[in-house]
Amino acid sequence: MPKSFELPDVSGAVLGVLGGTGDLGRGLAARFAAAGQQVLLGSRDRERAVAAVDTLPLGDKEKVRGLDNIECARSADVVLVAVPWEGHAALLEECREALDGKVVIDCVNPLGFDERGAFALPVPEGSACLQAQQLLPGSRVVGAFHHVSAVVLLDPEVQSLELDVMVVGDDREATDTVQALASRLPGVRGIYAGRLRSSGQVEALTANLISVNRRHRAHAGIRVTGL
């Protein structure tokens, strides 16, 4: 990508992962620790967060600390939200004050499942990201990491992820920060892909990738071509 798109140095940023005991949260925590980032892994229950750190299949565990969600939100510089959709609104309301002024990365996919597979759930606010921005008016919400497979993240055999992370948001400094963070993972490019109003389809596309996975027994991701 051209020189004008140089991204900030985020190697010193402390990354918090809310809902860090789930597969996606653990996978992202492990990958960022492996990339040299300081990571705080948050859970409703501090004990469970501490225990989850020991289960990380890769990354330097010294780089990861388990905390309860609110302490995690308070102590991190940039905060990833990786809870199931069902717990999304309640968690954000609970952490509102602790997240004030921070870059909040929402990677939650509002999906339902039936015998035909996954499908996008309607969200009154338009998307998980838009719900987050509405619940956290003092935070800078950015959508990212929707299409990364937890299975791939947690597989220590996978050295390079070989996919792009679509980054959506309304605040340029915040999207630059998240692009830079994503790009720290081997084989990943963080690519700006529009404003929050265009976050719904990025989240919903995960249903399509799950259809690909079902047909091909794969863990599909996305690359943006032509850059």
Stretch 75-114: interaction string toward a second copy, x if CB under 8 A: ----------------------------------------
Q: Using the rule CB under 8 A, is 215 a contact of a second copy?
A: yes
Q: Which of 33, 35, 72, 222 binds a second copy (CB under 8 A)?
A: 222
The whole-angstrom separation of Cα 145 and Cα 105 is 8
Q: How far is the CB of 2 from a second copy (least distance, A)?
A: 8
- Which of 18, 24, 104, 166 is close enough to bind a second copy by CB under 8 A? 166
Cβ proximity of 120 and 207 under 8 Å = yes
d(CA 203, CA 80): 15
Helical pair 128-135 and 88-95, crossing angle rounded to 10 deg: 30
**How far is residue 37's CA from residue 14's CA, in Å, rounded to a whole number?**
7
Q: Contact region for a second copy (CB under 8 A) — 23-31, 45-53, 84-92, 205-213?
A: 205-213
Q: Which CB, 54 or 216, lies closer to a second copy?
A: 216
Residues that bind a second copy (CB under 8 A): 1-2, 5, 116-120, 149, 152, 162-163, 166, 168, 191-195, 197-198, 200-202, 204-205, 207-212, 215-216, 218-227
